[in-house]
Amino acid sequence: MEVRVVDPYDEAQVADWFAVVDARQRADRPDEPGWLLTELRAVLRHGAKPDADDRCVGLVAVAGVEVVSAGRLDIPVSDNTHLCEALILTHPERLRRGGGRALAVEVERRTREMGRTTLTATSEELPGEEGRSASRGFGAAMGYVAEQVEVRRDIDLPLDPAVVSGLAAVAAEHADDYDLRTWRDVVPDDLVEDQAYLHRRMSTDVPMAGMAGRRRSGTSRASGARSSWCARWAARTSLPRRSTGRPDAPWPTRPWASRSPLRSGSTSGTRSC
């Protein structure tokens, strides 16, 4: 099994890498559209965060001429410089060939070479697999400790108009002091610092169990220096109060398709390097 680095500007290499990622995400989340090739190509070239705060290395495990597994190593630049974040995916028809293990060894080697001490990873679990999925077993076999479990519940859209009207009526009782502001590209100047503050709180207020670090400084990088890169990702919506002019909550608005009422989850683990 040979591990190779993916050249993000080589279309054939990126396509082979993405083919494994796409097959895996279709198996793990069959009712979702998933990430597109264009989106993940941009991640490999520019990083996973729109504020240029990380670098990404794409990796593949190859047996002969066949790509068995695909991986990505995210390397924080400003914050959390003691850790790296890994993604390791194996094609659902090419399991148990050693591709995932080869990539795990490689991302650990790279993490240690950079002088970093912690490696985190996340895996998906379908309903009925909770706590006993193949990915959970793989992580444990490689020495990872499960630290954080997230449960996601999806609903079919559109909702019954009567349900929407009822929810809107309840929200209206508390919404007199709020405005919705939506934009693409760069954060408006008057919201930059507050947006950065809220993003920072998102990484500090959430319970982290034994996950080391993850705090982000959230400085004025939130203004989106690389506007063309930010525009590729999503529109943004903020909810500022009229009385203060300051937002209470930011979130991305991404045009996902309707989803089934599937319950799924993800598990994050950590390993000392």
Domain count, the chain: 2
| Domain assignment present for 158 | no
Q: Are residues 26 and 131 in the same domain?
A: yes
Structure tokens at 152: 């996601």
Q: Are residues 132 and 263 in the same domain?
A: yes
Q: Are residues 6 and 96 in the same domain?
A: yes
Res 213: pLDDT = 54
Q: Are residues 81 and 134 in the same domain?
A: yes
Could you report the per-residue pLDDT of 101-152, keeping only the tens digit for each? 999 999 999 999 999 998 998 888 877 887 788 888 888 888 888 888 888 7
| Domain assignment present for 235 | yes
d(CA 100, CA 96): 8
pTM over 0.95: no
Q: Are residues 176 and 100 in the same domain?
A: no
- Over pLDDT 90: what percentage of the chain? 37
Its domain, for residue 200, covers 165-253
Q: Supply the CATH number for residue 29's domain.
A: 3.40.630.30
What is the pLDDT confidence band of residue 261, given thresholds at 50, 70 and 90? very low
d(CA 119, CA 270): 6
Q: Are residues 88 and 20 in the same domain?
A: yes
User: What DSSP element (H or E) covers 199?
Assistant: helix 192-204
**If phi over 0 gives left and psi between -120 and 50 gives alpha, with beta otherwise, what is residue 80?**
left
Q: Are residues 146 and 207 in the same domain?
A: no
Q: Are residues 103 and 211 in the same domain?
A: no
List 58's β-bridge partners, or say none. 72
CA 132 to chain centre: 22
Q: Are residues 220 and 96 in the same domain?
A: no
Could you report the per-residue pLDDT of 174-218, keeping only the tens digit for each? 888 888 888 776 778 888 788 777 777 776 777 766 665 555 554
